[in-house]
Amino acid sequence: MQVSVENTSALERRMTIGVPAERIEAEVNKRLQQTAQKAKIPGFRPGKVPMSVIRQRYEADARQEALGNVIQASFYEAVVEQKLNPAGQPSVEPKVFEKGKDLEYVATFEVFPEFEVTGLDTIAIERLSAEVADADLDKMLDVLRKQNTRFEVTERAAQNEDQLNIDFVGKVDGEVFAGGSAKATQLVLGSGRMIPGFEEGLVGAKAGEERVLNLTFPADYQNLDLAGKAAEFTVTVNTVSEPKLPELNEEFFAQFGIKETGLEGFRAEVRKNMERELRQAIKSKVKNQVMDGLLAANPIEVPKALLSSEVDRLRVQAVQQFGGNIKPDQLPVELFEEQAKRRVVLGLIVAEVVKQFDLKPDEDRVREMIQEMASAYQEPEQVVAWYYKNDQQLNEVRSVVLEEQVVDTVLQKAKVTDKAVSYEEAVKPVEAPQAD
């Protein structure tokens, strides 16, 4: 077999492969002999059909199958011989494809980039540290109570944070517009659910009262037919209900699966969950900085085949997440290119760090991670056992641990600054940079 390789770009290879005719014919004859053993042709007993008849009837198909098999096998042999690492399937173009002649074809494909991860000592990391203070815990308890607010009907006038049951009709230029009317809808004043001025206009209203609100739709309103237009809303208040926060008692604790431990036990459980959230938030922020640093220090070219596969994966995920009757390939490629490129490049860089530093998942850390995830459940031992009985789930945890070990490896060489902050600042999501 003859092989020559041409570098047509940084990652694209054009490989010309020549296969002796004898190998093709041997493959064709092998298939014809297999066919002869089982062919059913009128006038002949099975297995007794003359080879000339078999060849006349089946040689064209046998040759097509043989060529496909030889191309696949010879391509694999050639990339191994040339020590190439293809990223995706090749595009095959036949040059000589004639019976009795040596097979010659050209395979064009991309390879994975070859590089070493560098610049770890140039990466700057700000590592946050924080504690859950009693004030943070008290604030979280207030949040939990507000999330479980009940509303009770009252005779007094409406004020912010009350829930109103209302009927309303909206008109633009004296005409009722589509979607501008509703009956018996619930609205919490101050929630910002309605256009500016609507909720404010109902403060002070009582049950049974009718109010007319003259408002203007925002210029950037999502319905362009209404954006910037003046509107009149006639609103009837059916009921006014005031918020009632639940007491911190056994009934409230039971909603969270916590029984017979009292207020102190509930506070301890909430604190434990907050501390878990805090650890994850700090770890996530450090990881994001490490990954950003690796990207900046190691610009590499991405194989188009890998980028295309990742875009397709993101399209499928988007359809699964948002539903609808749209097919993944109907979503524009441009929506996913930037995210796909980041994921592909990071995947290649992280894999190279694993290879350069000979990293393997630390099984003690794997168990610790599983135990921490299991601690959020009522019967953690069963959760731990389940992970160790499911190879796919266990390997996913191992992958996460290995990625954490990559982060640790970078941190050992990077410029790390520790910064003490409040709990709120530590868990606050990082704002995405604004586009210019």
Helix (H) or strand (E) holding 135: helix 134-147
The pLDDT tens digits of the residues spanning 281-295 come to 999 999 999 999 999
Q: What is the pLDDT of residue 434?
A: 47
Q: What is the pLDDT of residue 28?
A: 87
Domain boundary pick from 48, 80, 110: 110
Average pLDDT over residues 24-34: 87
Q: What is the pLDDT of residue 257?
A: 80
Q: How confident is the model at residue 49 (pLDDT cuts 50, 70, 90)?
A: confident
User: From the centroid of its chain, how far is CA 97?
Assistant: 45
Print burial letters for 188-227: b (CB count within 10 Å at least 16), e (below 16): bbeeeebbeebbebbeebebeeeeebebebeeeeeeeebe
58 lies in a domain?
Answer: yes
Pair 263, 373 in one domain? yes
Asked if 362 and 399 touch (Cβ cutoff 8 Å), the reply is no
First to last CA, the chain: 56
Pair type for strands 124-129 and 163-172: unpaired
pLDDT at 306 over 90: yes
The DSSP output letter for 90 is: P
Instruction: For residue 388, give both structure tokens.
Output: 């160790």
Residues 6+ apart with CB under 8 A from 234: 168, 169, 171, 210, 211, 212
205 lies in a domain?
Answer: yes
Asked if 180 and 231 touch (Cβ cutoff 8 Å), the reply is yes
Pair 423, 286 in one domain? yes
377 lies in a domain?
Answer: yes
Sequence length of the chain is 436
Total domains present in the chain? 3
The pLDDT tens digits of the residues spanning 218-271 come to 999 989 999 999 999 999 999 999 999 999 998 899 888 887 778 999 999 999
Closest to 230 measured CA to CA, from 271, 185, 186, 197: 197
Pair 341, 197 in one domain? no
This prediction's pTM: 0.76
DSSP string for 107-129:
EEEEBPPP-----GGG-EEEEEE
Pair 326, 291 in one domain? yes
Pair 401, 259 in one domain? yes
Q: How many CA atoms lie within 13 A of 244 on its CB side?
A: 9
To the nearest 10 degrees (0 to 180), the angle between helices 134-147 and 262-297 is 100
Residue 265 CA to residue 271 CA, distance in Å, equals: 10
pLDDT at 435 over 50: no
Pair 393, 291 in one domain? yes
Which domain does 357 fall in, by range? Answer: 253-427
Pair 236, 258 in one domain? no
Residue 112 CA to residue 115 CA, distance in Å, equals: 9
Residue 66 CA to residue 143 CA, distance in Å, equals: 70
φ/ψ of 210, rounded to 5, equals -115, 135
The DSSP output letter for 419 is: E
Pick 50 or 95 by higher pLDDT: 95
